[in-house]
Amino acid sequence: MSTAELLIASTRELLWERGYTGTSPKAIQQRAGVGQGSMYHHFTGKPDLARAAICRTAEEMRAKAEEQFAAPGTARERITAYLRRERDVLKGCPIGRLTQDPDVMADPALRAPVDETLAWLRGRIAEVLTEGCERGELNAALDPQACAATVVAVLQGGYVLARAADSVQPFDQAIDGILGLLTAPASASASAPASTSASASVDEQ
């Protein structure tokens, strides 16, 4: 691994563990095993290196998610595969955790890849859900955009609950809950009105 790659990899680890504020240039150099001169030879400073690290993490996160979203299967199967894949739950989401870092959110250059990644995730999930509705796999009344935002919110909230409890159980419960909402029969929205209409006809007669 080149010096630049060592620095990026070390910064990614430290950002996940400590956040931006808690990640000092000295800590990065020590983790990477390189000197100050080598760091500033490849990057202009901590913000430049942090952006490279965040962008790399975002790219990896999107690529891993796309493996599930583009796989064969129904929409629910693909969403389930994404939500239930192996994760280091107690460490939290490496991108989601950055939204709680005021220094990252205050810097447009650092904030951009975080915002873009979460927006991409919502959009991609919405696409999968739309496919499911069009194929009759999901309830036709489902709003793909709103449901996608809910899925991402539950996922990120699940990380927070798990870290607070120091247990993966709240995370698993949150995932079970959102997946349960996607199991409503595809015909549910159509069957209720039909039953009501039928009852009304009987009453009128």
What CA–CA distance (Å, rounded) separates 163 from 152?
17
pLDDT value at position 131? 96
Please check whether residue 171 lies inside any domain of the structure: yes
- Per residue in 83-121, pLDDT tens? 999 999 999 999 999 999 999 999 999 999 999 999 999
Tell me if 197 is assigned to some domain: no
Q: What is the DSSP string of the chain?
A: --HHHHHHHHHHHHHHHHTTTT--HHHHHHHHT--HHHHHHH-SSHHHHHHHHHHHHHHHHHHHHHHHHTSSS-HHHHHHHHHHS---GGG--TTGGGGG-HHHHH-HHHHHHHHHHHHHHHHHHHHHHHHHHHTTSS-TT--HHHHHHHHHHHHHHHHHHHHHHTSSHHHHHHHHHHHHHTTS-TTHHHHHHHHHHHHHHHHH-
In a domain, 147, yes or no: yes
In a domain, 47, yes or no: no
In a domain, 149, yes or no: yes
Contact 118, 58 (CB under 8 A): no
Count up the domains in the chain and report the number.
1
The CATH number of residue 118's host domain is: 1.10.357.10
DSSP string, 101-146: -HHHHH-HHHHHHHHHHHHHHHHHHHHHHHHHHHTTSS-TT--HHH
The answer to whether residue 151 sits within a structural domain is: yes
- What does the pLDDT read at residue 182? 84
Residue 94 lies in a domain: yes
pLDDT of 181 reads 86
Distance CA 56, CA 61 (A): 9
96 domain-assigned: yes
Query: What local confidence, expressed as pLDDT, does residue 1 receive?
Result: 76
pLDDT at 185 (0 to 100): 59
- Angle (CA) 109 89 69, round 5°: 70
Phi, psi of 139 (to 5 degrees): -55, 125
First to last CA, the chain: 81
Q: Identify the domain containing residue 129 by its residue range.
A: 54-186
pLDDT < 50 regions, the chain: 188-205
